């Protein structure tokens, strides 16, 4: 993770920071638009590895371990369970009827500044059909409506057109470029984005702007 983010660091009261930690600690289901999304547990390691090792996913996400396999995903999940106990991160995953992981949502939180960052991906064969738009919207709603942070930040690789289109449609604003550091110490340039809860709640624009993204192919909701 880069020391450069989050860019906006407005200190909130100790009580508010602790409230955010408590919401994270007590979460189990994500709820909302992706009903099967729940906190990932070590038994999900193989299913998550199966989702994430695809060439369209793992290499695009700078926070992913390399290589991606059952062992590294087990460590990834265990680390996130420790984050959840601390109250500064949580990992959700969704599954289909066959038990395959269909998406994951990795939420990192800076409670002292009331800001969250989420990363995620959807299963390769589901990409480009609106499911990512639905998952992105679900993640924003969890961060703002359930967790209640003041703002969300995001990073995308400059050539990740789907993520860029998705974040712009959700109402995120580009604030500039940063350098993202991978777990192995290498780095990549990223576009940095933020969105405030006030603009999400207050304006008709962000919600109407996601209207296309929230109507995925019906088969993807199973």
List of residues contacting ligand COA (CB under 6 A): 56-57, 60-61, 119-122, 127-133, 156, 160-163, 165-166, 169, 212-213
Token pair of 97, please? 């009827």
Nearer to ligand COA, 150 or 157 (CB): 157
Residues 200 and 18: their CA atoms lie apart, in Å, by: 23
Question: 180: which residues sit within 8 A by CB, 6+ positions away?
Answer: 1, 2, 62, 155, 187, 188, 189, 190
Residues 4 and 155: their CA atoms lie apart, in Å, by: 11
Nearer to ligand COA, 19 or 188 (CB): 188
| Residue closest to 222 by CA, chosen among 36, 50, 49 | 36
Residue 149 C-beta: closest distance to ligand COA, Å: 18
Nearer to ligand COA, 82 or 212 (CB): 212
Residue 122 C-beta: closest distance to ligand COA, Å: 4
Q: What is the dihedral of CA 73, 102, 123, 179, to 10 degrees?
A: -50
Nearer to ligand COA, 21 or 169 (CB): 169
CB-based closest residue to ligand COA = 132
Question: 55: which residues sit within 8 A by CB, 6+ positions away?
Answer: none
Nearer to ligand COA, 38 or 60 (CB): 60
Phi, psi for 89 (deg, rounded to 5): -175, 155
| Residue closest to 115 by CA, chosen among 6, 27, 200, 192 | 6
């Amino acid at each position: 993770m880069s020391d450069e983010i989050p860019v906006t660091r407005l200190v909130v009261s100790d009580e508010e920071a602790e409230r955010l930690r408590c919401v994270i600690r007590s979460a189990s289901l994500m709820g909302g638009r992706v009903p099967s999304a729940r906190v990932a547990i070590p038994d999900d390691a193989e299913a998550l590895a199966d989702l994430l090792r695809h060439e369209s996913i793992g290499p695009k996400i700078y926070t992913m371990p390399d290589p991606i396999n059952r062992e590294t995903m087990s460590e990834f999940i265990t680390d996130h369970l420790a984050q959840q106990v601390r109250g500064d991160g949580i990992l959700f995953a969704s599954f289909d009827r066959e038990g395959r992981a269909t998406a994951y949502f990795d939420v990192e939180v800076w409670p002292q500044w009331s800001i969250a960052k989420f990363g995620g991906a959807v299963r390769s064969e589901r990409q480009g059909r609106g499911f990512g738009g639905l998952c992105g919207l679900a993640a924003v709603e969890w961060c703002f409506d359930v967790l209640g942070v003041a703002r969300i930040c995001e990073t995308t690789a400059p050539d990740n057109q789907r993520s860029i289109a998705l974040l712009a449609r959700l109402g995120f604003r580009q604030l500039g470029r940063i350098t993202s550091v991978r777990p192995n110490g290498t780095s990549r340039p990223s576009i940095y984005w933020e969105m405030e809860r006030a603009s999400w709640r207050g304006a008709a624009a962000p919600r109407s702007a996601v209207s296309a993204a929230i109507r995925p192919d019906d088969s993807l909701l199973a």
